[in-house]
Structure 1
Amino acid sequence: ICYFPDGKQMISGSRDKTIRRWDLRKGKEMEKDREVYENVEAVEVSRDGRWVVIAGHTTNGIKVNEVETGIVRTFQGDWIYCIDISRDSTLLASGSFDYKVQVWNLYTGELV
């Protein structure tokens, strides 16, 4: 799970192949995405609330959602176990089963 910076919402990932967005004040699900990975390993929300990033155990890589526009991009990577977004919300780092650490620019999708 990961909380939005405003503390009003949360994202959860599950092994039932769903990502859910929750309204914490109402205690209700706001949104569900079934177009995700077999095993969701990590979810992260940027400090500015602009990005929601999802990673898992497939060759589908990392799903990067721009919250305001709804634009979704995929960054390539296999068997991702952990992700983290930089404090300034410009970079995404991932760690994978094959001991690779990769860093992407969230705005361009390019490896750094």
Structure 2
Amino acid sequence: ACVKTLEGHGNLVLSVCYSPDGQQLASSSADRTVRLWDAETGACVRTLEGHGDFLSSVCFSADGRRVALGSYDETVRLWDAETGACVKTLEEGHSYAVKSVCYSPD
């Protein structure tokens, strides 16, 4: 049975990831945003914007402080989950969409 429906994206949701502590959920979308949600209430607590194309993949770091985003704009961006600030953009090395991102556990 469906427990909760999170609404807010303006286009397809392409990836979803829980934070390591289970308190937040991140969803990436073809609307070029990632939304961070309170997993208990379903409220959107932050929207991350800045990519130039669809966001195909999202992943929390092991400590839950960072969010990595892979995009069809051929970049990976690392975001601060608390402040919503983009802390790093990896623009080199991809000649097509970044379809998957993953953090090392350590």
TM-score (norm 2): 0.72
RMSD: 1.7
Q: 1:63 aligns with which of 70, 77, 80?
A: 77
**What does residue 47 of structure 1 align with?**
62
Cα distance change on mapping 1:68 and 1:29 into 2, 3 Å: closer
Query: Are residues 1:84 and 2:102 paired?
Result: yes
The runs of 5 or more residues in structure 2 that have no matched partner are: 1-15
Using CA pairs under 8 Å that are at least 6 residues apart, name the structure with larger relative contact order, 1 or 2: 2
Query: 1:14: how far off?
Result: 0.5
Q: Percent identity?
A: 31
Query: 1:71: how far off?
Result: 5.0
Cα distance change on mapping 1:15 and 1:49 into 2, 3 Å: same
Deviations along 1:21-43, one digit per CA (max 9) or x if unpaired, are 00011111111123224111110
**Equivalent AA in structure 1 for residue 78 of structure 2:** V
Query: 1:5: how far off?
Result: 1.0
The runs of 5 or more residues in structure 1 that have no matched partner are: 89-112
TM-score (norm 1): 0.69
Q: Partners in 2 of 1:49 and 1:31 — Cα distance?
A: 14
**What does residue 30 of structure 1 align with?**
45
More strand by share: 1
